[in-house]
Each structure stands twice: as structure tokens, then as C-alpha cells.
Amino acid sequence: MTKRYQVKLNLARNCLRYVIKAYSIREIYIPYYICPTVISAIRKENCHIKFYHIGKDFFPKLENIPLEAFILYPNYFGICAKHVNTLSARYPNLIIDNAHNFYMPDCGLASFNSLRKFFNVKDGAYLYTSKLCEENFHPDDYFYKTFDGLTYEDMKENEIRLNNQDIKLISHTTERYFNCINLEQEKLKRLEKFKIFHERYKKINELNIKLTSADVPFVYPLLSKNDNIVEELEKEGHIILRYWNTLPDNFEEYRFYRNLIPIPLNSNIYILKNTLHQ
């Protein structure tokens, strides 16, 4: 069995850069529907990008992609464990972006998650890989206070700081704080919140969500049939974080940008029930 290493870095996007360096990847397939910071990270490593589409259930359309190709697949919203397992069994060079599921078991050529998307920290990501970089990296020892709750303004401020961060090791501050977190308790809280939202909105959600034991969601993804629901919620003062940059409206994935509402699971934000049922 091939030995696996855990590498603790500052950002999930930099885990991908690390993998590209370690495996000397010169070309990689990624979905059109993806965070733009991932595209930027790949280009920083002078790696050529080819794009693929995904269907309505987030399963990729890879029919014309060589089996030996390097492929990045994001575990969308932390609800795609079954897709991850299916793909990793077929594609030997599959890289799993588990930024939306910290708890997802390691699989594929390499996989990585994100501490800061799930917990009250400003940096941190764990990479699992069979190959290490020859370069040495240093900790991100930027001094910061711990968040007192992840407010929207906190998130914006921290994202600006992280935009140009190079590959670094996880900060000592985050490691100390993270060691005090009850991971099982946080997992159960997140699953319970997801269950509450799903019971409330499953009848109007176009996504057929069925969690497996490996799924620990980042948000509750609500895909509404109401084309104007995002605008309606924004007018009422709700903060809607669209995922991600808009795509051509003739793409199947466009409806995710237009209609998908990612409801947070780590806050007390609730969307008005009467609005969602219009």
C-alpha cells in the first residue's frame, strides 16, 4: 500500500498548487462551475487548464477525457461523497477538493480540505498525498485574534488578506486553536442543522439530496424553481453568497449561479419561509 502523507498548509487552493508541484502536472481538467481562486491558483503554477461540464446532480461529464488525465473534482457543498467514490475508482489521477467537507475520508491521487471553512479560524487546510514537494515552506505566522463568530465582514476582510498568500504551512495560532475543537460535536451540530433545513425546504428544492455516512455538508444548497428568488431575498436584506462567478446562460451550470442559495450551517441565519414558498 502506498504511503500517504498529511501536509498542513495555509489554504485549500495552495494544497492544489502543492499537488501540481509535487506531481509536475502540466495539464489539468477542472469544472466550469468552480471558485475562481482555484483557477488563479492553477495558473500561478503555469499549468494548462481544460474545462468539463457537470450535470444537474453535480456529476461530471468526463466521457471524452482520457483515463490517465489529471482531473480535479470539487465535493460540491459536501454532499457528493458518492460521486467522489465512483470517480476515484475510475480515474487514477483524480484530485479531490474537499474544501466543502472537512470530514470526507481521503481518497484519489490526492485530496485536501479546509479548516477555515468549517471552523472558527482564519487559515488552515489539510492535504493528503503520496508525494511530497522538495521545496521547504514556512508557517503563516500572521498575528490575528480569533473570530468571535464568522460574520460577513470578518469573512470579507480575511478573504482580502488571503488573496495573494503564497504556499505556507498552517499558522501556529490556528493549530493551537484547532486542537481545542471537539470535532465530533461540531460534526453533529452541522448535520442537525442540515436536517432542519432539509425538512423545511425539501419540497421546493430541485436537488435530490440524500446524504451518505461520509457527507458532512458545508451549507444547505437550495436550488429554487423561482428565477427571482435571489433578488427577492437580497431586497429583504439577506446576504446571498453566489457560487461562483456567472457562466454563459446556455450552460447547464448557469442555473446553479442563478438559482442556488447556499444557506449557512454555522450561523443562526434563517431564510423567511414565506418567501421561499412564493
Question: Do residues 10 and 121 touch, judged by C-beta distance below 8 A?
Answer: no
Model pTM? 0.88
State residue 120's pLDDT score.
84
Rounded CA separation 58/207 (Å): 10
Question: Do residues 159 and 116 touch, judged by C-beta distance below 8 A?
Answer: no
Report the DSSP beta bridge partners of residue 223.
260
Rounded CA separation 204/213 (Å): 24
- Assigned C-alpha cell, 79: 454532499
First to last CA, the chain: 54
State residue 150's pLDDT score.
52
CA 3 to chain centre: 25
pLDDT (tens place) for every residue of the chain, 278 residues total: 689 999 999 999 999 999 999 999 999 999 999 999 999 999 999 999 999 999 989 999 999 999 999 999 999 999 999 999 999 999 999 999 999 999 999 999 999 999 989 998 889 999 999 999 999 999 876 545 444 445 556 666 666 666 778 999 999 999 999 999 999 999 999 999 999 989 988 998 999 999 999 999 999 999 987 767 777 767 767 677 778 888 999 999 998 988 898 988 865 444 434 343 33
User: How many Cβ atoms are within 10 Å of 229's Cβ, its own excluded?
Assistant: 22
State residue 171's pLDDT score.
92
Collect all residues with Cβ–Cβ distance below 8 Å to 12 and sequence separation of at least 6.
Answer: 97, 99, 112, 113, 114, 117, 125
Tell me the domains of the chain and their CATH numbers.
Answer: 5-178 (3.40.640.10), 183-276 (3.90.1150.10)
State residue 74's pLDDT score.
98
State residue 158's pLDDT score.
64
- Assigned C-alpha cell, 2: 502506498
pLDDT (tens digit, 9 = 90+) per residue, 1-34?
689 999 999 999 999 999 999 999 999 999 999 9
